[in-house]
Amino acid sequence: MTQAKTVLITGSSSGIGKATAKLLAAEGAHVVCLDRPQDDELCSKVAHEIGGSVLLADVSDPESPAKIAKDLQERFGKVDIVIHNAGVTRDKTLARMKKEWWDQAVDINLTAVARITDALLDGPMQDDGRIVCLSSVAGIAGNMGQTNYAASKSGIIGLVQAQAKALAKRGITVNAIAPGFIETRLTAAIPVVIREGGRRLSNLGQGGMPQDVGEAITFLCSPGAVGVSGQVLRVCGGALIGA
Ligand code: NAD
């Protein structure tokens, strides 16, 4: 399906990014695994397992978009598919929220996505490509103690809707995935009682797995998904949040 496609996945050392890297590599794509310089070992391990490549960058570094675009151009001459998956939580109620926690969540989860896409579109991004951005059900419904995270993930929904219109003339589709509770490092950091509640707040009554999200991303990256753009696909097991 994605044979000979070059795919960039941000945050691919763990969780949803890692699962997606494996699925797209199994489809025949060459996956460029991007993660922070301090995650070199984990990132290299994933890339090695799937016959992919490594690109180390902090997506929120203002110099990263140009560096990523240049690197992809020089090494591969193109990128066909971009998965904006890198993300963080910096949970606090607004009363306790430090400015740097707000900024980190918004910079990594939203601003970096817009800047990297812009740099790639002016460089190695191919026409008829695919862009998939990770939102969240928190970006649809909000969540107590996650105003910064919810705002950033809600921003992703606006971004894909705007970009889908702008990029239609190049045949590029842009969509968002809104996962519910998925078993990853991100949710392992949630206090145990809230974590258990998160698992049960879905029709399936359990947390989802990273592969569940990866399968939906894989579909949106396929040639057959050409008619789907500017959409938000919930992968949440029928979560009650925002339903
Ligand atoms: P994870 O922590 O396992 O993976 C996140 C990855 O992003 C890590 O590899 C991390 O090193 C990388 N990353 C973080 N900051 C970065 C930066 N500045 N530069 C480059 N890489 C960076 O978490 P996950 O659950 O797999 O999350 C993946 C995406 O899915 C995130 O955008 C997250 O917000 C979203 N999401 C997850 C859930 C869930 O329940 N797990 C729910 C909704 C949305």
What is the DSSP track for 117-176? HHHHHTTTEEEEEEEEEE--HHHHH--TT-HHHHHHHHHHHHHHHHHHHHHGGGT-EEEE
Per-residue pLDDT at 41 exceeds 50: yes
Ligand 1 binding pocket mutation candidate from 60, 182, 202, 234 (most atoms within 8 A of CB): 182
Please tell me the predicted confidence (pLDDT) of residue 2. 43
Which of ligand 1's atoms lies nearest the C-alpha of 107? Answer: 18
Q: How confident is the model at residue 241 (pLDDT cuts 50, 70, 90)?
A: confident
Catalytic residue list contains 53 = no
Kindly report whether the global pTM for this prediction surpasses the value 0.75: yes
Please tell me the predicted confidence (pLDDT) of residue 240. 80
Q: How confident is the model at residue 167 (pLDDT cuts 50, 70, 90)?
A: very high
User: Of 21, 102, 148, 149, which is the active-site residue?
Assistant: 149
Q: How confident is the model at residue 25 (pLDDT cuts 50, 70, 90)?
A: very high
Lookup: tokens for 199: 């698992």
Lookup: tokens for 218: 């894989």
Cα 133 to ligand 1 centre (Å): 11
